[in-house]
Amino acid sequence: MSVLLQIRQASKRYGDQILLDSAECTITSDTKVGFVGRNGAGKSTLLRCLLGEEELDSGQIIKHPKLRIGYLRQHDPFLPGETSLQFLMRDSGQPDWKCGEVAGQFELKGRYLEGPVGELSGGWQTRVKLAALLLHEPNLLLLDEPTNFLDLRTQILLEHFLKDFREACLIVSHDRAFLGATCDSTLDLSLGKLTMYPGKIEEFLVYQQERIEHDLRVNAATESKRKQLQEFVDKNRARASTATRAKSKSKMLDKLEFIEVQSAQAKAVIRAPQVEPRRGPAVRCLGLSIGYDGKAVAKDINVEIEHGSRSAIVGDNGQGKTTLLRTIVRSLEPVSGEVRWGHGCNIGTYAQHVYTSLPEKKTVLEYLEYEAIPGTKTQTILDTAGAMLFRGDSVNKKVSVLSGGERARLCMAAILLGNYNILVLDEPGNHLDVETVDALANALLEFKGTVIFTSHDRHFMNRVATSIIEVKDGTVVNYHGNYESYLYMVNKEIDDAEFARTGRRSTPVPSTKTKDKDSDRDRAYDKKKQPSGSGSQEERLVRKEIANLEKTIAKLDAQRKTLHDQLMSTTDPMEAMRLHEEREKVSTELETAEMRWAELQEQIEES
């Protein structure tokens, strides 16, 4: 292990906004780091500083002499008319056979390798860029939102690539499933500080919430102490007999400090439109063909979506997902066939063709007031605007000066303030951070209407979708299974293709459902045990091991609880990190012991 990169006392600000405040971090050669933080926290700015495209206001970025950074470029580096293979050879200086070998890892072959790269979809062009990255043999990859606009298949190929990549990575992403599959450490940027957590994103989020709760309790105790001291000072400062003590208490009061808590930042508050639930078909596609200029990309579509369902449109990029959505909401005419909406359907649409045509002269607040249900309280409008990152004076911005991402968030805010009972959402999470995506998912779960949506965020899809509609090879069908089973199927197809190409397999995506080990163990405990002297010698040895495991489990469980209590009571961040790591270690040992205990119980029951 060697240190590739060190960030020391880094400070950076834009106007009144502090992005980095004496931030520090170390990236080593043996780690893949997921870089998280709220939108606007400064993650992309820090990446630009690491690349040398921007400078810190103060501080240092110390790079290892042999550091080779590979950066996934967002712009297109291709020349007009050149093929993917020609680009890879030109960009890397490697021979055609080497370029073809690396391109094969991303299924780049045939017309995708030999045809014009400019004619490929965004997802396939990203595969070409990834192959180019690998050909440069970097020892640190910097990826900024690499899954945005990538279809599921390309995301999984990128995951496989990163799992096999033996060097370091720093990945900015709001996609929790992607980070969980690829990164073993988590770097958080909050309130200008960098915090490196030696664990995956889900573990970090639990730790982060525990720290917030702990800091809030410490602040509450500090506030109580402050009030007591202030009352004493106020009562006794004027008395000669107690003035000295009052002065001492006043000094103690001045020394009290409150912890700056991350949750003190504005939280995402999202409320879905309040509508009455309906029954029956919301929309029917009858003999529908979809496409552009009379050319069908999918035909003979006969799909029905029920009121109250949350239907996810899935499929590879370029297959027609967005075309289907646009045809359903009638912003695009069918090539043939028809779309029939049920009676009383009020449709709210979130898609690029909508948020690029907002009224230029209105301010953010004026637009939201116009779009909101009459009578909506101003505070509700401001809360929804804040959830979409329009806070403070930004609500007075004119639409004409908003970026593409800001317009997208404004459109989403307007839909949430309406009275739509049908929501049609094309990639709703692309311009939102992890917290806001979660808040949106929670709002859609509470929504009593119908949701038809596309997304590349697997965590979001798995939480929200109740039905799957697949667009593939010119057809559109209801997929009989949940998103988890669809994900497994796609992963298996890729795994089979890799096995055919290389003779080895990657690990398929595991089920997101886990067994409740505690419940299994408790049920087994309740079962009547046979006397320890009964059965064969082998059975007696199994029962002895079970008895020893039960003692170990009880001991580890007690240790875990003690460490948890210590973690909640400490005010030292370094001590908190040490206790958290120790607790995670004990939890892992406990889980291993419980799994072994369950295996032995099954042996006893089968015998």
Q: Give the residue extent of every domain in the chain.
A: 3-202, 205-264, 281-480, 517-606
Task: Say if pTM beats, i.e. exceeds, 0.85.
Answer: no
pLDDT band at 252 (very low <50, low <70, confident <90, very high): confident
Residue 107 above 70 pLDDT? yes
- CATH: 3.40.50.300, 3.40.1010.10, 3.40.50.1820, 3.90.550.10. Which one for 3-202? 3.40.50.300
Checking if the pLDDT of 511 tops 70, the result is: no
- pLDDT for the residue 510: 43
Domain 3-202 and domain 281-480 have a common topology: yes
Q: Is 76 helix (H, G, I), strand (E, B) or coil?
A: coil
Q: What whole-number distance in Å separates Cα of residue 206 and Cα of residue 215?
A: 14
pLDDT, mean of residues 250-260:
76
pLDDT of amino acid 264: 46
**Predicted local distance difference test score (pLDDT) of residue 32:** 93
What are the angstrom distances between the C-alpha of 134 and each of 63, 410, 458, 521?
20, 38, 25, 47
pLDDT over 90 at 34, yes or no: yes
What 3-state class would DSSP assign to 286? strand
**What's the confidence (pLDDT) of residue 582?**
81
Q: CA 349, CA 426: separation in Å to the nearest integer?
A: 8
* pLDDT on residue 124: 82
Q: Could you tell me which residue, 591 or 91, shows the higher pLDDT?
A: 91
* Residue in the structure block whose two tokens are 């069918």: 334
pLDDT tier, 214 (very low <50, low <70, confident <90, very high otherwise): confident
The encoded tokens of residue 3 equal: 């240190």
Distance of CA 264 to the CA centre of its chain: 21
User: What are the tens digits of pLDDT across the range 522-544?
Assistant: 444 444 334 334 456 777 777 77
May I ask the CATH class of domain 281-480? alpha beta
Residue 401 has pLDDT above 60, yes or no: yes
Residue 568: pLDDT band with limits 50, 70, 90: low
> pLDDT band at residue 512, thresholds of 50, 70 and 90?
very low
